[in-house]
Chain A
């Protein structure tokens, strides 16, 4: 590269001296060996002794709950090893449990040994560091995040913690339509199946479908939006007309038409949900790309002779990540709702596989005599979707500089 002769002398900005105000970095005390030993025995105890209450309590509670789960389900854990055919979900649950236990312990030690010695930050933060600080200040959003994490952990641990087999029918005459009690937390349904266990297993289906469908939708939408916005002209016109067209279909109607014409199955539902959920992402990405395309760094990349694919993937798309992340979190909740609606109509997950939607539909037969069958899965849906929406709102507030106050 040849520099121009009239090089303007640019003075580099003064490095900010001292502590950046509002960065929230406090000098932490050095760790004593006693605290380390305490932490090795009970993660978090070391932090509490040091006076770092919040972190310590969270670590200690997580550790105790995980250990409690491990001890209470010893029978099932040994059953996984002695089973004639190794059950895949049992192994997955064990790996999760073990991984989380090691993770909590290792984090407590790492935080005490390495992180407490880190020097105080002297310079400004990156965009993501500012956003994460903003996010942590938002209590509702943190609650949403916690609920989401707990939900996914519970989902993975379901085979260990579900009290009953979700499809075991038991004695139909004696155990059907039992009211919620200590033995059956959410009662039993018309086949005598435990509603609580079915809700736990249903969480697996619903959360997985929500996650994968949104991932498909975001990938397709980002591709369409980036191509339309970057190349412009007729490519843009054609793609955006198509997007408008897809947006004019009431989504549920499009979904039931497509799914009913083929055979309903979980995979069809996931794919079709993904392929009907990309339009908003495409619009968001296109809007951002349109303005990014004119910016100097993209122009510079073009002048340097980079290929279009490289410019889009390496230079343009990373800059639209923030709104896309916000949108996808907000839309996971909505996708879970749509999946539940489909299963409710009998077009989503097929019985006997439990999903929240088809459980609510099951309860319709005996709404008055056994209100609990429909009520609890619905409450769980509301709870989950609220958590995702809180998380999404918090992310939006944190990631959008215009909303920061």
Chain B
């Protein structure tokens, strides 16, 4: 098991290196450089030239590349031009905000998706199955940003207009008076802020999980050992949840890795709409501000998260399926 883990870890190092290289060259191929934001009639060309020299932009490309790579390897992501502070100072809080949102969303995706998938598989070809299949497809085809807007429209704006008892906050992570609340209130406040973004982010993927779960469950249910379990006289509940579910879950585990890129892409949109101070919004902001170091750092972190997620999925797969480890 440990040798398998080590092998996988070593295998992802060239992948990360390749990702870094790709990011570096995309940014460098693009027209304009980081000093472009300072171009203006009041700044003399000599100052710009000095600035370029200070930033090392006058060096040949390969030297820049290796200097940047070694700095990155040492955990030095550079300075953000837009926020005027080191990126390693900005990243942790922002990353944590996104991970919070994604964790809640992943729990939602798998709980909802698996439940629906199991119901569909148990009642194969019934009306319930058909309706749920169509509903899943419907949500799977829905743009997350539109769902987010509709959630805001109904459960936040219209809810207050129509005077519903419950209305969800439409932006930010906390309410205005957050610091003055008690512990319990703070918790509910955070939860209330998190529900709508998590739903908007996760519903599409949950529909995907439901489709996989249905297929995988149907495959298992038709196997011999399930017939044996039924023949033994076990209750249907036990057959499904104890015997069938365990094996049906094996392929589902790998979906964690598969959906991570989708979640990160989705978080760009959802965080922008809900003004959630996370990675996705940071990427969009830094792009529009032409904050090159921040763009490079955030897009690398996003890609690295995906690599990590895939690694995690593989390890989980090896844990649940002993056949993989033996290879």
CB-defined contacts of A258 to chain B, threshold 8 Å: 26, 30
- A253 near B30 with CB under 8 A, answer no
Known: A249-B299, A257-B299, A262-B31. A367 touches B18 (CB 8 A): no
Residues of B within 8 A of A248 (CB): 15, 19, 261, 303, 306-307, 310
Q: Is the beta-carbon distance between A382 and B138 smaller than 8 angstroms? A: yes
**Which of B41-49, B146-154, B244-252 forms contacts with chain A?**
B146-154
In the complex the two chains form, what is the Cα distance from A363 to B141 in whole Å? 21
Q: Which residues of A contact B142 (CB under 8 A)?
A: 378, 381-382, 385
Closest A residue to B304 by CB, please name it: A248
Indicate whether A252 sits within 8 Å of B27 (C-beta atoms), given known contacts A257-B299, A367-B153: no
B15 and A345: CB pair below 8 A?
Answer: no
Whether B146 lies near A251 (C-beta < 8 A) is no
Pick out which of these stretches binds chain B: A171-179, A316-324, A333-341: A333-341
- Residues of A near B145 (CB, < 8 A) are 340-341, 344, 360
Asked whether, in the complex, the Cβ of B141 is within 8 Å of the Cβ of A382, the reply is: yes
Q: In the complex, which residue of chain B has the Cβ closest to the Cβ of A338?
A: B265
Partner of B265, one of A245, A251, A357: A251
Candidates A245, A250, A257, A345; contact of B18 at CB < 8 Å: A245
Taking CB as reference atom, which chain B residue is nearest A363? B149
Which residues from A are CB-within-8-Å of B146? Answer: 340, 360, 374, 378, 381-382
Contacts A333-B141, A378-B150 hold; do A345 and B284 have CB atoms under 8 A apart? yes
With a cutoff of 8 Å between Cβ atoms, the chain A residues found around residue B268 in the complex are: 250, 252-253, 256, 345
- B31 near A341 with CB under 8 A, answer no
Q: How far is the CB of A8 from chain B (nearest CB, A)?
A: 40
CB-CB < 8 A to A390: which residues of B?
137
Interface centre among B26, B143, B144, B306 (most CB of A within 10 A): B143
Kindly identify, within residues 324 to 369 of chain A, every residue whose CB is under 8 Å from any CB belonging to chain B: 333, 337, 340-341, 344-345, 357, 360, 363-364, 367-368
Q: Which residues of B contact A252 (CB under 8 A)?
A: 264-266, 268-269
Could you say which residues of chain B place their CB within 8 Å of the CB of A375?
A: 150, 153
Is A367's CB under 8 angstroms from B306's CB?
A: no
Query: Any chain A CB within 8 A of the CB of B238?
Result: no
Contact with A along B303-323 (1 / 0, CB 8 A): 100110010000000000000
A260-B288 in contact (CB<8A):
yes
Q: How far is the CB of A205 from chain B (nearest CB, A)?
A: 15
Give every chain A residue within 8 A of B161 (Cβ-Cβ).
368
CB neighbors of B among A223-282 (8 A): 241-242, 244-254, 256-258, 260-262
Tell which of A244, A257, A367 touches B152, judged by Cβ atoms closer than 8 Å: A367
Chain B, residues 261-301, CB within 8 Å of chain A (1/0): the string is 11011101100100000000001100110000001000100
With the chains together, A40 CA to B153 CA distance in Å?
Answer: 53
A371 within 8 A of B: yes
B18 near A249 with CB under 8 A, answer no
Do B15 and A241 have beta carbons less than 8 Å apart?
Answer: yes
Q: Which of B146, B265, B288, B306 has the most CB of A within 10 A?
A: B146
Name the contact of A344 in the complex, choosing from B138, B269, B288, B310 (C-beta under 8 A): B269
B157 within 8 A of A: yes
Number of A-B contacts (CB under 8 A): 136
Report the separation of the CA atoms of residues A375 and B153 in the bound assembly, to the nearest whole angstrom: 10
| Distance in Å: Cβ of A142 to nearest Cβ of chain B | 15
Instruction: Identify which of A244, A250, A333, A374 contacts B302 (C-beta below 8 A).
Output: A250
Interface assignment of A389: CB less than 8 Å from any CB of chain B? yes
Q: Which residue of A lies closest to B269 (CB)?
A: A341
Interface size class of B (residues with CB under 8 A): 35 or more
Q: Which residue of B lies closest to A250 (CB)?
A: B264
Measured CB to CB, the closest approach of chain B to A14, in angstroms, equals 35
Q: Note all chain B residues with C-beta closer than 8 A to A340.
A: 143, 145-146
**For the complex, is B140 an interface residue (Cβ under 8 Å from A)?**
yes
Q: Which of A253, A333, A363, A375 has the most CB of B within 10 A?
A: A253
Q: How far is the CA of A388 from the CA of B140 in the complex (A)?
A: 12
- Determine whether the beta carbon of B272 is less than 8 Å from that of A261: no
Q: Which A residues are CB-close (under 8 A) to B261?
A: 247-251
Question: Does A386 belong to the interface (CB within 8 Å)?
Answer: yes
Min Cβ gap A255→B in Å is 9
Residue of B nearest to A260 (CB): B287
Residue in contact with B157 in the complex, picked from A257, A341, A367, A388, CB distance below 8 Å: A367
CA distance A293 to B145 in the complex (A): 44
A245 to B303, CA, bound (A): 9
- Which residue from B15, B149, B150, B153 sits with its C-beta under 8 Å from A244? B15
A252 to B272, CA, bound (A): 13
Contacts of B138 in A (CB 8 A): 382, 386
- Chain B residues closer than 8 Å to A251, beta-carbon distance: 261, 265
A258 to B23, CA, bound (A): 10
27 example contacts (A-B, Cβ-Cβ < 8 A) are as follows A242-B18, A245-B22, A249-B19, A249-B261, A250-B261, A250-B264, A250-B265, A250-B268, A252-B265, A256-B284, A257-B27, A257-B295, A258-B26, A340-B146, A341-B269, A344-B269, A360-B143, A360-B149, A364-B149, A368-B158, A375-B153, A381-B143, A382-B143, A382-B146, A386-B138, A386-B141, A389-B140
Interface residues of chain B, those whose CB is within 8 Å of chain A, are 14-15, 18-19, 22, 26-27, 30-32, 134, 137-138, 140-146, 149-150, 152-153, 157-158, 161, 261-262, 264-266, 268-269, 272, 283-284, 287-288, 295, 299, 302-303, 306-307, 310
B-binding residues in A (CB < 8 A): 140, 241-242, 244-254, 256-258, 260-262, 333, 337, 340-341, 344-345, 357, 360, 363-364, 367-368, 371, 374-375, 378, 381-382, 385-386, 388-390, 393
